[in-house]
Structures are given as C-alpha cells and as structure tokens.
Structure 1
Amino acid sequence: MFTIASSPRLYPLTDRAVISLTGDERVKYLQGQVTCDVTALNAGDACPGGHCDSKGKLWASFWLANLGEQLLLVLNRSLVARQLPELKKFAVFSKVDIEDVSAQWQICGLAGEGLSHWLSHEVGDGNLWQGGVVMPVAAEHALLLLPKDAVLPELPQGDEQEWQGLMLQAGLPDMSAEHQGEYIPQMLNLQAIGGISFNKGCYMGQETVARAKYRGANKKAMFILEGEVEGEVAVNQDLELQLGDNWRRAGTVLSVCQQGNHCLLTSVLNKDLDADTVLRVKEQPDSRLRLRPLPYELAD
C-alpha cells in the first residue's frame, strides 16, 4: 500500500507529543516506571518502551531518547492527559522534573532509501543534531526531534498519512487514548521490537509483564491487517472474524491508515489465528481484511 520513497523524505507530524524529564535523578526515576532499560541509553541513543499501571496495563507506548541532560518521550498526543499525571505521581520523592514540552519541539518522520547514508553525511557518527536528536525506529525510518527555532533539513516532504502507513507496515505500535488501560506491553509486540527489558530491576507493572513471558500468560498479539472497506474506519471500531458462515467479534482497530476504500490497520488479536483468516469491520459487512505478515518474529 505504501512504498518507501526512492530517496529520503521529511514527514512533519502533528499528532505526536513530547514529555521531558530533567534533574539529577531523571534516569533512576524513569527506570522504575517504564519497561525499557533507561540506564542502557547513552546520549544520542533511543529505544521503544511502555509505561504501565500497577496491573501491567499500558498508559502509553512511546519512543525514548537520551539527550544527555534530558530524557524525551515521544508518544501519541491523545495519551498525555491521563499518562502524564501517572508518570509524575511519585516524582515529588525524586530530583526530577517532568513536563509536557511538545510546544518546544518540531517532530518529523524521516524515511526513504538511502536514509542511513544521508544521516551519516548530515548528522555524523552520533544521533544528536542541532540541539535535537535522530531516533532510528526501523530500517531507513527515523523520528527527528528538533527545537522549534532549528532549521528543518531541505528534503522533499511527504504527508502525515503516508508516514502513518509506513509505521503500520513496519509493525510499530501506536496506541491512542481509547486503549489506555486495556493492553499489556506484549499485546503490542513491544518485546519483539526491543521495548521490554527482562533483566532490569523493578518497575510499575513488572510482575504482569514477567508472568506473560515466563508463564505464557499472554494469548494476544498485535497484527497488521489490509484490505478493502466500505467507508471510513476509525480507531476502536470493532472487528469481526469469519467462522464459516458466521462472524464473531475479534478485537478493535488500534491504529489505521486509509486511502479511499483500501485500508491498512493494526489490531490486538488472538495469537493462534491462521494466516488465511478473514476479518471485517463490524459496521461494514462487505468489508474484507486479511492478515499481513509481521516484519519481525513474535516472542513472549
């Protein structure tokens, strides 16, 4: 549906938010809150991760970057209203300042053949650049965070929907407020893309995450679906699974990108689905969606 451009493109993004952590105990504090290993990140490094409640259900999935004196979380803007107060809940006991700094940053996607070569020429060895950071998220795909007063690179620009489609094809999770408190991290495949450390110390929701891995407690995963629909498809719409002549509820739309009647979306579904499973959007009985292979191996 979406083909990566033959040369690097810039995708200005409007639906992302940025949360900042500063202060002497920023790393220690965040390490006790999220699924990824914050202590493993040097200045310029980045990784995916999740922030859970005490029961292991996600408040947010995100990308985390270490800018040296500052940690930045990049996430879906709709998550901030509920997630930020939860992240700050215990901050009064630590030397850390946490705030929504979205207005201070320009957030863009970078993608295209030759992007890694372009970055090595423009950015150099590290990922810190012009007071911001480049965050690789997949092969020849990256997020770019630059201060508001920085000059964006002179590259052809693509639209936000195209970037969303590229992220869906890469199997990268993007949850919205509608799904907060519903999924554990493994249901969004965070373990498959390096977003969960099973060797770090305690963090919020760790017992549930560990149980899902070591006891096989998780029976769901995020899948990519593609096909034809009858009308507009939105986040949280119900999806149905075909069983002979009947249809049964299977899950909801996690994130979606649509061009006309052609639709690409992600959904959390049972892990044991057959590759030839047929699904549809519940309100659109003539729609048909099929599973698209994930670009990585799933693991508990």
Structure 2
Amino acid sequence: MHETRELSALFPQQPSDSSPATALALLEHEHILEVQGVDATRFLQGQLSCDVATLPSGGHLLGSRCNPKGRMQSSFRLFKISEERYLLAMDAELLQPQQADLAKYAAFFKVQLSDSTDQWVRLGLWGSHVDEALAAADISRETSDPEAGQAITLDDTTAELWLPASRAHEIATALTQQAEPVALNAWQLQQIRLGIGHVHSQTRESFIPQMLNLQQLGGVSFQKGCYTGQEIVARMQYLGKLKRRMYRLTGAGMDLPIPGTPIMNSVNNQAVGEVVVAASTNKGMELLAVLQNEAAQLPTLHIGNGTEPLQLATLPYEDKMAADAASD
C-alpha cells in the first residue's frame, strides 16, 4: 500500500487545461478480478460475451458479463496471463457484486475468484511519443511473460499498461521521461473519443452489450457457444432491431453528470437516454450516452435538469456501424 501511495503522488488529481503531446494516467477507478485454475478458460467461456477460448496468452479483449436476460452486470478489459489465469479490470464498485454472482457458477469448476487489485497497477499512455516512452521504461507491447508487465495496444497512439505492483513506481518514473502525468479525467476523455464505454454501478443491468457498441469493439462473439445471457444477445443481433445504442456527445458546462443521468428532449421534457460516462474538456465536456436512435440527431437534447444543448459527435467506428446496418 505504501508503494501505491508513492505512485499516486506522481499524478495530479485535478484536470488541466493543457494537452501534453504524450500523457500518462493512473487507472485507479477500476479494480481487478482474477480468475485462476485449471478450468479458468472453460469457466469464463461459458460466462462472458467475448471469445476467451481463442485468446492467446498476453492477449486482451473487451467483454461483458450478462444476467440471464442479457443485461450487463459488468463490462471489462480482460487480460490473459495463461490458460489458467485471467484478469478482468472493471468499475471498482462492481467487483464485489460481480465476484459474488460468478461464485455461484464457479462452485462447479476448478477455479478460484479473487480481488487482485493490490497486486497490479494499470496505467494509460497515449499521444505522439508512446513508443519512445515504452522504450524508456523497457516495456514491450508483446512479451513472453505477461506476468512481468505488458503494454496492450488500443490504437496507434494509445496503450494500456498492466504492471506488477512491485515494479510500478520504477516503471512509471521511467515513463515520465517521455510522458506527462495527468489526472484520470484525461484518460476518460481519450476513452470517450475511442468510443469505449463501460458499465458503472449506477448502470448495472441497464444495457445489453450492443447498446454499448461492444460488438464493434470485439467484446461480443456470435460464433462461440452458449454463455449466460447469450440467447437474448444473439436474438437482438439476428432477429431484433436495436432501438437504442451508444453515441458520443459534446456540450458546455463543467458539472459532469454521473453515469445513469437521464438525457432529456427539451421539446416534451421526456427522457430519451442516459449517460454512460462523461469527462471535462477545456471547452466544456464530452460524454458517451445510450440514446434512442430516433432522438440522437435532435438539437434539443440536454442533460437531466440542465439547459445547455448537446451536440452529436462522431465515433471512430461510425462508418463500420453504418456499413453493418446497411448489410443487415
């Protein structure tokens, strides 16, 4: 815990108006659930929406765990250490309830579930000098020993580092030779711009995976076998019409809405969606929100009891979503 406090001291707590060329953030808002045992792969394959069985050691996926009605109890980034060891990073407040629910099924497999948050540190690294920063810290994007620490690539300029806690302060200090430590808000803004939304405690069991566009991000497999909630998720993909999904919005104001805050249509004062996540910018805010598709283009959207209008912004996979919809 002393090492963690030392590491936290490297990072500012408040957002800055500046945007460094390369930024480094400490990802303390998520905790890590570990699944370990000889049945780990088989167990997770039957519980998660992503295809765990085809993932190599050192590989990673976004994914979700649904209830039997297809509603997401959690979303996460899954990191595979080995066939018998997986780590799932999820909203800190969701770890205990998710662990408790999975434990009901784990009793029938040779697996153990544990909170491994204290054993790992995750850092977000993005910008124009990511490779130089990784080289300075001697961290590889690919490694034969994931347990020693690894940088996983989210896009050309964004990486997420999974580090053993014992080495995290040393590595973070080396990274600061090329990257500027920033507050968590800056990482959340980067995630919003990548179109990556997550379930939080306020939105637990509010969404099916397609509402968070997880199928566009590799977080849902439609080729794997059965998993909890799979029937509902697959039916929506092949037989249903998705009436609500996640969009990116921008707006004025600095009072960030919490996840689950309603998005309203000022014409009739009706809720047409809800916030997934929001982050500050030097001009206001950006957010991801699940909206009714027919309402997404309206110029009369605002947050909760606010009055400032919201504007629709693009997602990086918007063209692919349009192409997929046209081919259905």
For normalisation by structure 2, the TM-score amounts to 0.83
- Output one character per residue of 1:156-175: Cα deviation in whole Å (capped at 9) or x when no partner: 31211111111111110122
CA distance 1:95–1:203, shift in 2 (3 Å) = same
CA distance 1:52–1:3, shift in 2 (3 Å) = farther
Deviation at 1:242, TM superposition (A): 4.2
What corresponds to 2:250 in structure 1?
226
The 3-state SS of whatever aligns with 2:89 is strand
What corresponds to 2:142 in structure 1?
126
User: Do structure 1's residue 157 and structure 2's residue 181 form an aligned pair?
Assistant: yes
The 3-state SS of whatever aligns with 1:149 is helix
User: Do structure 1's residue 66 and structure 2's residue 80 form an aligned pair?
Assistant: yes
- Residues 137-146 or 197-206, more deviating: 137-146
The structure with the greater share of residues assigned to helix is: 2
Residue pair 2:40, 2:86 contacting (<8 A) in 1 also? yes
Deviation at 1:261, TM superposition (A): 7.0
Residue pair 1:123, 1:129 contacting (<8 A) in 2 also? no
Residue pair 1:22, 1:96 contacting (<8 A) in 2 also? yes
What corresponds to 1:187 in structure 2?
211
Identity of aligned residues (%): 29
Residue pair 1:222, 1:269 contacting (<8 A) in 2 also? yes
Q: Distance in 1 between matches of 2:20 and 2:243?
A: 36
Which residue of 17, 30, 46 maps to 2:44? 30
The 3-state SS of whatever aligns with 1:272 is helix
What corresponds to 2:271 in structure 1?
249
Deviation at 1:104, TM superposition (A): 1.3
- Output one character per residue of 1:164-222: Cα deviation in whole Å (capped at 9) or x when no partner: 11111111012211111111000011001111110001000000110111013421111
- Output one character per residue of 1:52-110: Cα deviation in whole Å (capped at 9) or x when no partner: 00110000111011112421101111211321111221111111111111111112111
Q: Distance in 1 between matches of 2:92 and 2:261?
A: 20
Match of 1:178, as an amino acid? Q
Q: Distance in 2 between matches of 1:28 and 1:277?
A: 48
For normalisation by structure 1, the TM-score amounts to 0.90
- Number of matched pairs: 296
CA distance 1:116–1:4, shift in 2 (3 Å) = farther
Which residue of 152, 165, 171 maps to 1:148? 165
Match of 2:139, as an amino acid? V
Residue pair 2:38, 2:111 contacting (<8 A) in 1 also? yes
What corresponds to 2:26 in structure 1?
12
The 3-state SS of whatever aligns with 1:126 is coil
Q: Deviation above 4 Å: which 4+ runs of structure 1?
A: 1-5, 116-121, 127-130
What corresponds to 2:6 in structure 1?
none
The 3-state SS of whatever aligns with 1:64 is strand
Matches within 5 A, 1:254-269: 254-259=276-281, 262-269=284-291
Q: Distance in 2 between matches of 1:185 and 1:12?
A: 27
What corresponds to 2:3 in structure 1?
none
- Output one character per residue of 1:8-56: Cα deviation in whole Å (capped at 9) or x when no partner: x321121111011111110010000000000111111101011000110
Q: Cα RMSD over matched residues?
A: 2.4
Unaligned runs of 5+ in 1: none
Q: Distance in 2 between matches of 1:50 and 1:210?
A: 14
Deviation at 1:2, TM superposition (A): 9.1
Q: Distance in 2 between matches of 1:169 and 1:47?
A: 18
Unaligned runs of 5+ in 2: 1-15
Q: Distance in 1 between matches of 2:24 and 2:43?
A: 33
Deviation at 1:259, TM superposition (A): 4.5
Q: Distance in 2 between matches of 1:81 and 1:124?
A: 32
- Residues 31-40 or 148-157, more deviating: 148-157
CA distance 1:143–1:169, shift in 2 (3 Å) = same
Residue pair 2:140, 2:150 contacting (<8 A) in 1 also? no
The 3-state SS of whatever aligns with 2:43 is helix
Residue pair 2:254, 2:280 contacting (<8 A) in 1 also? no
Deviation at 1:148, TM superposition (A): 1.2
User: Do structure 1's residue 80 and structure 2's residue 116 form an aligned pair?
Assistant: no
Q: Distance in 1 between matches of 2:131 and 2:71?
A: 35
